[in-house]
Amino acid sequence: MEAKRADAVRLGIVGFGIMGERLLRAALDHSTAPLDLTGVWDPSPDATTRLAAIAPGLPMLESAQAVIDACDCLYIAAPPAAHLPLAEAALSARRAVLLEKPLSHDTAAARDFVLRAEAGGARAAVNFPMASSPAVAQLLAWRDGGTVGAPASLEIEVAFATWPRSWQHDASGWLARRAEGGFTREVVSHFLFLTRRLLGPLKLEQARATYPGGDGAETSIVARLTAGGVPVTLRGSVGTTERDDANGWTLRGSAGAIRLRDWSVAERETDGGWATEADALPNERMRPLVLRGQLDKVVAMTRGEPQSLATLREALEVQEIVEAILATG
């Protein structure tokens, strides 16, 4: 594929599952971004077929190293066990890196990686899309405008008909397993990132995780935390809703309450109940806009310019809380 501009950032992708495909589609649709997609690698024959149908001119390269060699920034959308080895290889080659969360299935290894990356001034970030969400920007505007007042409590709740969700079955080999998968890593981490960014450092007070037996991922969690000193209640469960995915993040304070519902709907509490922001979009329509915002920041990160992607340190703090919750089961 031809570069859009002579100074375009060359973006390579390793892992062409759901997330790799979503980011690639967002890049293809983001015609104003100075991005040049240079190659993809995934060992699955199905991935090769899908890539040819979506982007006929984009090569499926022969290895992850070939993608690293051809890019300025590597997007790592492989399963968690591969995240750190791929990131280390890319950073050693002086590439920028955007990782999927979690940083790793091994928290001690993640801590060591973050320390080394920070010490080396690495251009690296983690793909928590709420960093570019218009709905989150609206929550911030309401909070900063006094809608909430002094924060008093936060409630996070997620529920799923089944886990993995219906559209994730192709990745169930690891998503359904305790070692790398589960909804706490995959979904709750996003809301913990949002909490950390809006309220402050996270501290786990109490938690309980329930597992189905064998090597299956968790079926429920309950936890109490604080974020910047604000009490946080967290609940998650499988089989308690008929919906693929239901979630809410509700912040209450001395002046009122705001919430993020179903990933992308910003609402504030009024005398008549919850009022939805006029330009709110369902997640399937909001997601491409958010990912294009992420890609703009990827360009800035690769060029060494200021941006607001999730930092490695933020992602590590979220991972430590997630793994501490999961360890209680």
Residue 3 has pLDDT above 50, yes or no: no
CA distance from start to end of the chain: 48
Residues 6+ apart with CB under 8 A from 87: 74, 76, 97, 99, 113, 117, 124
> Cα–Cα distance between 197 and 190 in angstroms, integer?
11
pLDDT (mean) for 211-236? 97
Tokens, residue 324: 């501490």
Cβ-count burial 292-317 (b if 16+ within 10 Å, e if not): bbbbbbbbbbbeeeebebbbbebbbb
Residue 208 has pLDDT above 90, yes or no: yes
- In terms of CATH architecture, what is 131-281+317-326? 2-Layer Sandwich (3.30)
pLDDT at 184: 97
- Interval 280-313: pLDDT, tens: 999 999 999 999 999 999 999 999 999 999 999 9
pTM of the model: 0.94
pLDDT (mean) for 240-247? 96
pLDDT at 6: 73
Q: List residues bridging with 154 in a β-sheet.
A: 232, 251
Residues 6+ apart with CB under 8 A from 275: 267, 268, 269
Residue 252 has pLDDT above 90, yes or no: yes
- Interval 68-86: pLDDT, tens: 999 999 999 999 999 999 9
- Interval 264-273: pLDDT, tens: 999 999 998 9
Domain ranges of the chain: 9-129+289-310, 131-281+317-326
pLDDT at 4: 57
Provide the percentage of residues in the chain whose pLDDT is more than 70. 98
The yes-or-no answer to whether 9-129+289-310 and 131-281+317-326 have a common fold is no
Other Cβ atoms within 10 Å of 208 Cβ, number: 11
Beta strands in 94-141 (DSSP E): 96-99, 124-126
| Cβ-based burial of 144 (10 A; exposed 0-12, middle 13-18, buried ≥19) | exposed
Say which CATH topology domain 9-129+289-310 has.
Rossmann fold (3.40.50)
- Interval 124-182: pLDDT, tens: 999 999 999 999 999 999 999 999 999 999 999 999 999 999 888 777 788 999 999 99
Binned at pLDDT 50, 70 and 90, residue 1 comes out as: very low
How far from the centroid of its chain's Cα atoms is residue 308's Cα?
14
